[in-house]
Amino acid sequence: MALTLTLPTANRALAPYTLHGRPPVKPAPGVRFDRIAYSAAHVVADPLAAVDPWLAAALDWDATIAYRRHLWSLGLGVAEAMDTAQRGMGLDWPTSLELIRRSLDAARDVPGALVASGCGTDHLDIDAVRSVDDVIRGYEEQMAAIEALGGKLIVMASRALARVAKSPADYERVYDRVLSQAKQPVVLHWLGDMFDPALKGYWRGSDQVGAGGTADIDAAMDTALGIIAAHPDKVDGIKISLLDKDKEIAMRRRLAPGVRMYTGDDFNYAELIAGDGHGSEPTHGRSDALLGIFDAIAPAASAALGELAQGNLQRFHAILGPTVPLSRHIFQAPTRFYKTGVVFMAWLNGHQSHFTMVGGQQSTRSLQHLAELFRLADAADLLEHPELAVRRMKTLLATHGVE
């Protein structure tokens, strides 16, 4: 029996929408990947906590860790306490560290589970940061805490460093100190200012930033590549989230031997993961993955990667290609609000019992946006339990006066 509901359209009208009725994407069990694939994972808020959501983070720990187990069961790694977990948009450092601890503890029960954890400077009072030395001490504090738990580091871009750095030399000094002390190879993270406006001019410094655009990005890339080249044994790879596939391809071809490119391009991930075969070594002819969208499309990501590992490139694109319009919608400007779409997908698919978020961030997208997200998820075969998804979408519509 066809499932139909009434959804708002772009012209403020209401129109019936009928689900296509195809079965949801399901990966083949036990298939190994030939790419490293991390999903940055969202957190599940505790809607019953007696806190002011704008001021304090309260998590449902059981549901949050259960979702990580779901990702591991699909063969995906977990990039913990990152932007997708609302780091810097509601999730504070003490809660982030507890999240990392619980995730690492849970991973010990899962053979082969991958976890890499975000290390930054977000615990600092940015208004009190006066120097590069303050930033270094901030990184060192979080490094020590994560490494004491046995965690692998993702060295996140620092708002504090973007604020105080005057030149590329300041970035080189900070990252030289951080990398020289790391206990195991780290993943560097270059997050574009479309994700976080406070990171504008990263790798350049206030004395070097021009009007923006290609020249600044190329110069920033030179700085990052120089830092990697100086510490190739301490860098597992770099994740870049610039939403510019040509810049990612150009950078991965210039990486030091053995250093991976982890795509963070939520607009072009399918073709970047598939690769073009060009580069001085195999890993520089394609990208591995560290993506927020993999949280929302986990079954399709797993199924597609399994096909790719078996040499079925056409099937890889047939599965992953339809998810790209959904991802571009979820990550549309203002891009930093993409977390709302990720959590909305988890709610529709039954991975959490409610659609509330840390910081009240469920309010950052309109009903029209969420209605189109629902249509695109259906088109990509990503509604895991269609009857549940329709029932929950109707509940959301009713709270907005659409019944």
Domain annotation covers residue 272:
yes
Q: Is the pLDDT of residue 285 over 90?
A: yes
Quick check: pTM over 0.85? yes
Residue 391 included in any domain: no
Give the mean pLDDT of the chain.
95
Domain that holds residue 284: 26-335
1: pLDDT strictly greater than 70: no
CATH of the domain at 171: 3.20.20.70
In a domain, 130, yes or no: yes
Q: Is residue 309 part of a domain?
A: yes
Q: What is the pLDDT of residues 241-272, one digit of tens each?
A: 999 999 999 999 999 999 999 999 999 999 99
388 is a domain residue: no
What is the band of 8 on the pLDDT scale with cuts at 50, 70, 90? very high
For residue 213, is pLDDT > 60? no
How many independent structural domains does the chain possess?
Answer: 1
Domain annotation covers residue 385: no
Residue 126 domain-assigned (yes or no): yes
Question: Does residue 92 lie in a domain region?
Answer: yes
What pLDDT, in 10s, does the model give residues 374-394?
999 999 999 999 999 999 999
Average pLDDT over residues 19-36: 91
214 has pLDDT over 70: no
Instruction: Confirm if 362 and 304 have CB atoms less than 8 A apart.
Output: no
| pLDDT tens column, 58-116 | 999 999 999 999 999 999 999 999 999 999 899 999 999 999 999 999 999 999 999 99
Confidence of residue 278 (pLDDT cuts 50, 70, 90): confident
